[in-house]
Amino acid sequence: MRILLIVPALATALALAGCAVDTAAPARAAERFHAALAAGQDDAACGMLAPKTAGKLPHPGQTCAQALHELKLGAGGAVTAVSVWGEDAQVRLSGDTLFLHRFQNGWRVRAAGCEPVRDLPYECEVED
């Protein structure tokens, strides 16, 4: 009888472990984005943006890299929190908050340079 009670508990534990949310991948994407900015690799950072975000960033006559460089986003810093819901994530760094979306080719930055606004959504320097 004791074995029958352990098997359902083990099955439940394994099922929950299989459904664990991956917070490491969006955190790494956010860190890579800020590392590229810090290294002056604005083209590489633009490649990490969601397509819609990259398309909305530049003003007429600018490239994405030029527009991103002009924003002078602050240092990212260490990851302090990651929240994932479905295909979207929020990564809080010590110096920035980013919103990301999971595409077929990985996590891409949808918004960066985000600051919370009291009782309102975040206000972001880069967003789609």
Q: 3-state class of 104 per DSSP?
A: coil
Residue 18's pLDDT is: 52
Tens of pLDDT, residue by residue over 67-100, are 999 988 878 899 999 999 999 999 999 999 999 9
22-127: CATH architecture: Roll (3.10)
Q: Which long-range contacts (CB under 8 A, 24 or more apart) does 77-85 make?
A: 77/34, 79/27, 79/30, 79/31, 82/23, 82/26, 82/27, 83/23, 84/21, 84/22, 84/23, 84/26
Q: List the structure tokens of 75.
A: 């240092």
Q: Could you state, in order of their start, the residue ranges of all structural domains in the chain?
A: 22-127
- The mean-pLDDT minimum among 19-28, 32-41, 94-103 falls in 19-28
User: Averaged over 8-29, what is the pLDDT?
Assistant: 66
